[in-house]
Structure 1
Amino acid sequence: MKKCCLLLTLLALLFAVPAFSHSSPPVPSPTPPPEAVKTSILDLGRHLVLVNREHRISKTYIPQDLVLPRVATRKESLQEQILMTREAAQALEALFEAALMEEGHVLYAVSGYRSYGIQQILFNTKVQEVGSRERAQRRVALAGTSEHQLGLAIDLQAPSHLNLSQAFGDTEEGKWAGENAHRFGFILRYKTAWRDLTGISDEPWHFRYVGIAHATAMHQLDIPFETYVTYARMLPEYVLTGGSHVLLAGLIADLMAEKQPEALQALQKADEAGQESALRQATAPYLTGQSYEQALWYSYPTPKPTAEPWVDADEEEVLLHPSGSN
């Protein structure tokens, strides 16, 4: 009798379990990941970030995509030491190739990315050499104020002049670099005429990557980076990232002349769907001797599309375009 009662009790508990399971608390949903923070091309980590004595970098900042550019160096030991961000490195390779192919000039890469600590050592060494911090700052940037920490700057030499001095600007290689670097996205960062604004003496060997559109606009305007960024801040972000050198130079020239370009108002009002049309219309007044597409392709070059294969309908064979590569 006892065994029978025990069995009935166990069966009652077994069938009662599903009823209790419905009262269990719900499992909370995972917290959604935070939305990605939108950054500007003027921010740290992007091409137009301004770095100088007034705009410093943290001692812990290290670029995320440092690579070794495949370019010539004066010493073999430097081959594995010069680093730049990936895009800047690729642009530097194209610059070196053009110098050699167009004019037979050989360029040497001397110094790319530098950490905060290395820059501090260089500055302290210069202080000991010249006797004062003030004089040292004219030749070497303080740690945290050097563009080399961005991985976007490169110092150049040539076989005809193996020193980092103003004489590099008088060499054929230095002249070519100063006149053509913008075609590859680099600007000559420091000139004597800009010293009061940049705080740095003439450095014809120091080039900074900003992208072709901005480098060419600055080259045409012949203004320092500090001045360019001041006016670039007045432009919509999509203009800074998608406007051609023609539009950028035109708008900033007008702003420098204290004009209020009519095109700028239209650009500021355009919604996302209308931005491409707004860029085209705003560029039109500044175009001279080239189309909008030509200006855009120059500023943002992409590989030319491969010719589509030709299909013989009769034999159903695919024949590659003669100019295609293997």
Structure 2
Amino acid sequence: MKKLLLLVFSAWLLMQPGALAQDAASPASQPQAPAILEIGGNLALVNRQNRVSRTYEPDDLVQPRVATRKASLQERIYLRQEAAQALEAMFEAAFYEEGYTLFAASGYRSFGIQQILFNAKVQEVGSRQKAQSRVAPAGSSEHQLGLVMDIQAPSHLGLSLAFGETDEGRWAGQNAHRFGFILRYKDQWRQITGVSDEPWHFRYVGIAHASAMHQLDIPLETYVEYAAQLPGYVLTGGSHVLLAGLVGQLMAGQTPQHLQLLREAVDQEQALRDATAPYLPPGQSYEQALWYAYPTPRPTAPPWTDEDEEVRLPGQAGGG
């Protein structure tokens, strides 16, 4: 009898208005966020509100082949492989384009190392509140992602606002996006990021996203808020032209013309091409925008045959 009553009561609950709707709206049924936005992805957001687990450690950390102001610092500059390669390209460009030397100062930090640094700052300044304005508590530091590098220069070896006033610091701030890095903290974004100006702190997000953020002049917090509304394949395959256009419109409270088409697309490549077209600057093709955002590997033309029917690759020099 008790079992019968229990079954009847359960059936009655299921028949109540909203019962099924509540189940459909449960967290387990919500769509999964694109991997690029999660911890381990290039757009992972880490701050006081979005923390990293104490156990998280990237599995592809490498030591970038770049200079440090002293040899002992080489052990502190590990980055994830993709970010390390981008940093090498950025440092090379600074030198060959302008003759500037950049130094890597601090890359990946484990949860434990960040805890030690924070505790030391608490001891120095006398309170956790004051310490938090200078050093991120463990779990809230982007350095744990392996996507951040603090940068110095021979003209200024400290990590301070003065770096932003050096020629090297200005060059880095103006050109980092070309290599997939963003200047993470600016004073005008303090109300959003919770962090004051740090002209030495560069975060890797990939060329397409870094260039879009640079164009829009917004912090990662704002960018991620609107980028999360885009399909995952757009975040991993869209050019900076498309990303800046879509996010810019969403920020302005507008619904981008192609957004629904992107969400429902069967042919994703064609959808990306069609959605990019309205945002392309005069004279720029879709391929040019894509190559800029994803330069490695670049699409290449197929082999061609000369008059002697000798198959040669594009760009291959003649002779032995």
Normalising by structure 1, we get a TM-score of 0.83
Q: Which amino acid aligns with 1:294?
A: Q
Q: Encode CA deviations 1:273-292: one digit per residue, 9 max, x unaligned.
A: x1111111111111113111
Q: Which amino acid aligns with 2:127?
A: S
Q: Which amino acid aligns with 2:281?
A: T
Q: Encode CA deviations 1:133-173: one digit per residue, 9 max, x unaligned.
A: 12211221110011110000000000000000011000000
Q: Is structure 2 residue 270 aligned with structure 1 residue 277?
A: yes
Q: Is structure 2 residue 85 aligned with structure 1 residue 90?
A: yes
Q: Encode CA deviations 1:270-313: one digit per residue, 9 max, x unaligned.
A: 12xx1111111111111113111110110111245499586774
Q: Is structure 2 residue 74 aligned with structure 1 residue 79?
A: yes
- SS of the aligned residue for 1:79 comes to helix
Q: Structure 1 CA distance, aligned partners of 2:162 and 2:185?
A: 14
Q: Which amino acid aligns with 1:185?
A: G
- For residue 123 of structure 2, the aligned residue among 112, 128, 147 is 128
Paired position in structure 2 for 1:150: 145
Q: Is structure 2 residue 110 aligned with structure 1 residue 115?
A: yes
The answer (yes or no) to whether the contact 1:161–1:168 under 8 Å persists in 2 is yes
Q: Is structure 2 residue 220 aligned with structure 1 residue 225?
A: yes
Q: Is structure 2 residue 279 aligned with structure 1 residue 286?
A: yes
The answer (yes or no) to whether the contact 2:53–2:139 under 8 Å persists in 1 is yes
- SS of the aligned residue for 1:249 comes to helix
Q: Structure 1 CA distance, aligned partners of 2:187 and 2:294?
A: 30
Paired position in structure 2 for 1:201: 196
The structure whose Rg is larger is: 1
When the two chains are superposed, the root-mean-square deviation of aligned CA atoms in Å is 2.3
Residue 130 of structure 1: CA displacement? Answer: 2.1
Paired position in structure 2 for 1:302: 296
Q: Structure 1 CA distance, aligned partners of 2:45 and 2:307?
A: 56
Residue 318 of structure 1: CA displacement? Answer: 7.5
Q: Encode CA deviations 1:72-93: one digit per residue, 9 max, x unaligned.
A: 0001112233200000000000
Paired position in structure 1 for 2:62: 67
Count, aligned residues = 287
- SS of the aligned residue for 2:59 comes to coil
The answer (yes or no) to whether the contact 2:34–2:232 under 8 Å persists in 1 is no
Q: Structure 2 CA distance, aligned partners of 1:154 and 1:54?
A: 22
Q: Structure 2 CA distance, aligned partners of 1:318 and 1:243?
A: 32
Equivalences for residues 98-113 of structure 1 within 5 A: 98-113=93-108
Paired position in structure 1 for 2:187: 192
Q: Structure 1 CA distance, aligned partners of 2:276 and 2:315?
A: 35
Q: Encode CA deviations 1:60-83: one digit per residue, 9 max, x unaligned.
A: 111010000000000111223320
Q: Which amino acid aligns with 2:159?
A: L
Q: Structure 2 CA distance, aligned partners of 1:175 and 1:294?
A: 27
Q: Encode CA deviations 1:234-269: one digit per residue, 9 max, x unaligned.
A: 000011011100000000110000001111111111
Paired position in structure 2 for 1:42: 37
Q: Structure 1 CA distance, aligned partners of 2:319 and 2:225?
A: 45
Identity, % of aligned pairs? 68
Residue 321 of structure 1: CA displacement? Answer: 5.6
Paired position in structure 1 for 2:6: none
- SS of the aligned residue for 1:113 comes to coil
Paired position in structure 1 for 2:163: 168
Residue 203 of structure 1: CA displacement? Answer: 0.4
Q: Structure 2 CA distance, aligned partners of 1:281 and 1:307?
A: 24
- Segments of structure 2 that go 5 or more residues without pairing to the other structure are 1-31
